[in-house]
Structure 1
Amino acid sequence: MIEVTANLARGSTFLAGEILECYITLINTDREEKRNLAYNDCTLAWASAQIHCQCAVSDSRVVLPKSDILSTEDVTSTGDQTSFVPSKGERGLTVWSSKPKILFCDLRLGPGEQKTYLYKEGIPKDVPPSFKGQSVKYSYKLTIGTQKLECPARLLRVPFRVLVLYGLNDLNVYASGEEVTPSNPFLEQRPPENTLLEVALQVLSTVTAKRSPHCFNITNARGKVARLCMFKQAFKIGEDIVGTFDFSDASIPCVQFSATLQSEEQISEECRKKPGQLPITMSYCKHQDFCLHSRKTHFSLPIPLSASPGFISDIVTLKWKIHFEFITSQNAIPPHAAPSNPAECSTWRGPENLEVETMVWDLPIKVFPTNPLHASNVSLLKTSSMVEM
């Protein structure tokens, strides 16, 4: 019996543009004492590996445009049991696939013998990211196919996650032009060679850095409700969105507020099932607080590492926002009268009935990818898979 194991060399999350590496090990699990028996030698006819991206859509909301991409059912029906069809049995369409690479042909393994191969493949920068939405789903898998003599082909799949950071097509743009460190005239000066991951982390640090705070005056038809200050409006997944509220100069008393982190999944016009179809909103976390008689307060919203950053594809667009709700009083609320003697204490009792109104406001934000090594630490995807033949 042959045991085939595939193990990703560096976690289960990659940036588009990186090179995926996978170690594929084949072991003959028969006992060592039968090594001299010829029938215990297992021969594998071939083995190939390929990366493919599957797109599955909701038929009630999405109409895919006509294209030359074959569906999985069409591809499966044209192949027999001995051909290598990586998307066999998968749901949806194959929107991208790498060229299949042959790992070996005619491999013979004796009892207890093993062989390891290294598979390398680059992920293009313009592919859609991994995404699991209500209407559209993009998923990536590495498929290894192998076949024993006079047996049907077997497939081994290893799912992984792809994050896309736009603007990495030309790495020379991010290369430093002048040397700022002291140079030695007796040593040969070599330009620094930054990998794509190092450049991507530099770009992420630049676009998500804290700059001047952004302040917003929140008002309604009757006056000012609050003043919101945020340190930035661009974040990486895994970060905390922090903002502060100032009610000291408000003319309208705010009784309660809530802040909800939401994403909007909007289908492109040519792919919508119905005209005027509204986007799907998904909420992730919520901060709610009572703020009556408060001068200043804050909110904090963590962005899950499992969430998908904002992106645009031919079918769907994902955007992020913070949904605010303010409950304000329509009547003036008398403040708490403090006693003249500091040693005395007093109790303030609020009104039994309070006429309120609700005001909503959406603040768009930008959400970018993070370090794929950090995302791999919390990923539920397995980095290895095994099949027996």
Structure 2
Amino acid sequence: MIEITAKLIRGPVYFSGEIVECLVTFSNPPNPNHQISQSHSDSFENLAWASAQVHCQCSTNGKVVLTEKLNSTARLAAINANTTFVPWQQDSGHVILNTKSKILFCDLRLLPGESKTYIYRESIPNDAPPSYRGQAVKYSYKITIGTQRVNSAIKLLRVPFRVLSLSELPEVTICNDSVDLSPNNPFMESQHRETPLDISLQTLQNLTARRTPNFYNITNNRGRVVRFCLFKNSYKLGEDIVGTFDFSNATVSCAQVSVALQSEEHVCEEYRRGKNSNVTLISYNKHHEMCLGLKYSQLILPIPLHVTPDFKTDLVALNWRLHFEFVTTPKLVEMPNENTATWHGPSSLDVETMIWDLPLHIYPTTTPPNTAQQTKYSIII
């Protein structure tokens, strides 16, 4: 009996272009005290080989996506698909990304109580799609460790992990002339050169830290309802969306406001089943407030860490928006002033609902939440 344990060194979340590292340990548990081997060779456990590779599986909902067309489309075919143990053979869907298989060892022999550990490293392509679990499409990443005894079936250990794509960031041109033309001092340590990943993360930080308040005068056919201010339009996972409502100059009374963070899943028309299919909307955190009589109010809406930021592939695109619902009254409700001793609210109100959507951008966080998920997996063969 051999126990195989795999552990992600730096947690379960990685950026595209980053190197994923996994410790793979093969252990031969000690024999029970009452068991006595018949010969010296009986005490060994043998494995013929072990290898590992990364692949991304794309699963689709046949009610929304033309799955049969995907099967015949070379665009979604995996690169380097001919490998020894075909790690995706038990999964449904299509392989859209597949790295070359790396051999960990050949002919491993372990005594009782002995173990051997190997490090598997693989770079995630820069253009890799992000991990995503939608209504129509799902992208999932796994490291698969395959091993085999002589004349036995291949055994697979799967290690899932999450990928955050940086390919949606705007391109930034970096000039390194100042570094190349600087005096060469042999007694000084060489300066650290920024990697493409460092540049992407710096671009992400600059993009989401920039505050550019935008004001929106929201009106209906009767007049102004509210003036809304959103302090910025680009956010990271885990941030709070902060905005303010100004009802002081409204000509239409607003009794209630609701704001929901929504994702929009768009399936490419080429692969969409039914040309009139609507966009799939999913609501997350929601802000709800009774605002009759208020002059000012604020919006604080946290962005969950588990959602997928904006991205687009040949098959699907994901966008984000704020969905507003304003419950207004046809007539302006008179509110009490400082000279009014008592005030009784209206017993009934004629109301109507107004809907407004505001697009925004959500990007990956610069500090992925690597501590909240499992990173260790094992199998016994």
TM-score for both structures, normalised by structure 1: 0.88
- Which of 345, 353, 358 lines up with 1:358 in the alignment? 353
Partner of 1:132: 133
**Bigger shift: 56-65 or 193-202?**
193-202
> Does the alignment pair 1:376 with 2:349?
no
Amino acid aligned to 1:19: I
Determine what percentage of the aligned residue pairs are the same residue: 44
CA distance in 1, matches of 2:262, 2:171: 32
Deviations 1:322-378 (A, max 9, x none): 0001111101212214337xxxxx32111112111111100000000113x432233
Amino acid aligned to 2:103: I
Deviations 1:56-98 (A, max 9, x none): 00001001432248999xx9xx99xxx5121121111111100
CA distance in 2, matches of 1:208, 1:70: 32
Partner of 1:241: 241
CA distance in 1, matches of 2:334, 2:24: 73
Seen in structure 2, the aligned counterparts of structure 1 residues 170 and 325 have a Cα distance that, compared at 3 Å, is: closer
Show structure 2 runs of 5+ residues with no match: none
Partner of 2:63: 60
Amino acid aligned to 1:210: R
TM-score for both structures, normalised by structure 2: 0.90
> Does the alignment pair 1:213 with 2:209?
no
CA distance in 1, matches of 2:61, 2:224: 44
RMSD in angstroms over aligned alpha carbons? 2.7
Deviations 1:293-336 (A, max 9, x none): 11110011111000000100111100000000111110121221
Partner of 1:328: 328
For the residue of structure 2 that corresponds to 1:377, the secondary structure is: coil
> Does the alignment pair 1:200 with 2:195?
no
Seen in structure 2, the aligned counterparts of structure 1 residues 257 and 348 have a Cα distance that, compared at 3 Å, is: same
> Does the alignment pair 1:41 with 2:44?
yes
CA distance in 2, matches of 1:310, 1:375: 18
Cα offset for 1:385?
A: 0.9
Show structure 1 runs of 5+ residues with no match: 341-345
Amino acid aligned to 1:116: T
How does 1:118-157 map onto structure 2 within 5 Å? Answer: 118-157=119-158
Confirm or deny: 8 A CA contact 1:69 1:93 kept in the other structure: no
How does 1:1-389 map onto structure 2 within 5 Å? Answer: 1-31=1-31, 37-64=40-67, 65=69, 66-68=72-74, 84-166=85-167, 173-174=173-174, 178=178, 187-188=187-188, 190-339=190-339, 346-371=341-366, 373-378=367-372, 380=373, 382-389=374-381
Amino acid aligned to 1:30: P
Cα offset for 1:210?
A: 3.0
Alignment: residue pair count: 371
CA distance in 2, matches of 1:257, 1:125: 41
Confirm or deny: 8 A CA contact 2:14 2:368 kept in the other structure: no
Amino acid aligned to 1:42: E
Confirm or deny: 8 A CA contact 1:310 1:319 kept in the other structure: yes
For the residue of structure 2 that corresponds to 1:228, the secondary structure is: strand
Cα offset for 1:251?
A: 1.0
Seen in structure 2, the aligned counterparts of structure 1 residues 148 and 202 have a Cα distance that, compared at 3 Å, is: same
